[in-house]
Chains A and B, each alone.
Chain A
Amino acid sequence: MQIFLNIVSAALVAIFVQNLVLERALGANVLLYASRNKTHCIGFAVAITYVTTVSSPLVWVLDTLLGENEYYGIFMPILYVLVIAFIYIVSLVVIWRFFPPLFRSLKKYVHLSVFNCSVIGSLFLCSQQGGDIFTYIGYGFGTGVGFLLAAYLLYVAADRLNSSLVPAAFRGYPIMIVYVGILSLALYAFTGYTTSAV
């Protein structure tokens, strides 16, 4: 029961309190691409959720074994990249071998959804968050679901944000970023905010 609660609470924190995109801005550019249509939206979110959830136990092992090392921070990116690459290649080989139609539909953008700052960023956040292996798994899963939430919120507004009602210079990317900023502001209601300003 405690394990389940750890996973659920870590996931809820990752979805609503420390949302990957809205609170950390990680994967903001991926979000713009993913929100173009529903297939991309779900496809990217599933890929990100899968990689972060499966990678997080391996990251926990690395953190536990090497976390005390003075230079671990410098070597973290390459270790995490190797973890992601391992998961990515093994998964692709399995899908290619047993689900060829799925592989054909995935191969166009699977690399985009795996090698981006949202995936590696979420693993760094897992590490920052700390906790046991189940917390890592819950947090990894939650970051992917949090991405889906942000991507869907942007997807449903995308048509209006790209309409001719928006001034030409702001149409598309600029107004979408402003919109994500307003969503981010709304999410701050869960946590409040403090600044270093007097």
Chain B
Amino acid sequence: MESRINPRDGFIKQNMIFMSGMLIAPVIACATSFVKSLALCFVFSLVSFAAILLCRFIPRTIVYTIRVTLYTAAAAAVYIPVAALARILFGEAVIGAAGVYLPILVTNSLILSKTETRFYLEPYANMVSDVLGFIAGFDIACLMTGLVRELLATGKIAGAEVPILFTVPALETTFGGFLFVGIGAGLFRAVYNYRKAHADADDEDSLADYAEGMGEFLVGKHRHEEREKIRIYKAAVKRARTENDWLDMEFLNNKDVLAAFEAIINEGNELVGADEGSGDENADETADDSGTLTENSESTGVTEDNDNADIS
């Protein structure tokens, strides 16, 4: 089944700095100038991208409790050539000023947690574009943060004087960084919510159409035979449960889609009820499956709504 994950999510909807807060320590403490932000983005992008691509080949038969150590070790190994290159490109002074905030990028949550919950559930090509979306989202937000903080704190951009009326030197500090990122996140979300509220009205019809199509596929494909319909329904529920990530985000948060799924489930249950009379021994199992699908669907939606703090 085709992945429903939108590769642009990481850019805005799940932006690592302003929306989910997945990686904010380096931005708060280190992105105080454009050049330092650039160095941060350079190291983050290369380390994350290479580590995620490499770690995809780590067998998933190894338990995650152990696998996570391999992910971190792989990122730390990738860091060695990247840090050497960064020293050449940006100079010792910039890398020194970035301090501990470059090496800690080896434990960022894009590598440690997003891989498990998202990237490694996708086909390889989709994963690459998805990862690039997340990285681009982080890079742009980080560069903008560095640029604005440098301008407001020192009246300069990339070291060049800019005539502004006042400066806010406290923006160079950690607490200035917290306040800047916090207020920036609030404003970013306000704009996103506003745009989403307007876009949803247009999207609802198409999502409802999609759900209707799904319903037809799930229940109505083999109209000629009721027992076959039940079998397809069961297979679809199982598939939906194993590919929980596919039933994602905006799709499940849409009331029309949920209603459509409930209708499918009800129809399935009715079919099962009818089939019980004809002696289907798996009928009860089907009813359980349908209930579980509903629960999973709801919990996925809620989790995604509240998913504000991944761990790095």
Contacts and interface: CB of A to CB of B under 8 A. Distances in A.
Interface of A: 22-30, 32-33, 73-78, 80-82, 84-85, 88-89, 92, 107, 110-112, 115-117, 119-121, 124-125, 128, 167-170, 172-182, 184-185, 188, 193, 195-197
A31 B279 CA distance: 55
Contacts of B182: 174-181
B100 A124 contact: yes
Contacts of A80: 76, 103
B159 to A, nearest CB: 11
23 contacts: A24-B29, A25-B177, A26-B104, A27-B25, A32-B309, A33-B310, A81-B69, A81-B76, A81-B107, A84-B72, A89-B66, A92-B65, A116-B107, A116-B311, A120-B103, A128-B99, A128-B100, A172-B306, A172-B308, A173-B308, A177-B24, A184-B175, A197-B172
A167 B84 CA distance: 45
B186 A169 contact: yes
Contacts of A121: 25, 100, 104
Max chain B Cβ within 10 angstroms of own Cβ: one of A26, A29, A116:
A29
Interface residues of B, number: 61
B173 interface: yes
Given A25-B28, A111-B64, A120-B103, A196 B154 contact: yes
B145 to A, nearest CB: 13
Contact of B173 (A76, A117, A170, A195): A195
Contacts of A177: 21, 24, 178, 181-182, 185
Contact of B104 (A22, A33, A117, A168): A117
Contacts of B64: 111
B308 A178 contact: no
B185 A197 contact: no
B32 to A, nearest CB: 9
A81 B172 CA distance: 30
A115 B175 contact: no
Contact of A74 (B80, B107, B186, B308): B80
A107 B65 CA distance: 8
Interface in B89-110: 99-100, 103-104, 106-109
Contact of A181 (B77, B175, B309): B175
A176 B77 CA distance: 34
Main secondary structure of the interface of B (DSSP, over half): helix
B311 A195 contact: no
Interface in B140-197: 153-155, 167, 169-170, 172-179, 181-183, 185-187, 189-190, 193
Contacts of B155: 197
A167 B181 CA distance: 17
A124 to B, nearest CB: 4
A34 to B, nearest CB: 9
Contacts of A112: 113, 311
B175 A28 contact: no
B52 interface: no
Contacts of A172: 306, 308
Contacts of B310: 29, 33
A27 B190 CA distance: 26
A174 B69 contact: no
B72 A115 contact: yes
A178 B106 contact: no
Contacts of A25: 24-25, 28-29, 174, 177-178
Contacts of A85: 69, 72-73
B69 A181 contact: no
A195 B73 contact: no
Contact of B80 (A22, A78, A193): A78
B174 A29 contact: no
B177 A32 contact: no
Given A25-B24, A168-B193, 15 more contacts: A24-B174, A29-B22, A30-B311, A78-B77, A80-B103, A116-B112, A117-B25, A120-B106, A120-B107, A121-B25, A124-B99, A173-B19, A174-B183, A177-B21, A178-B183
A188 B76 contact: no
B175 A185 contact: yes
B175 A77 contact: no
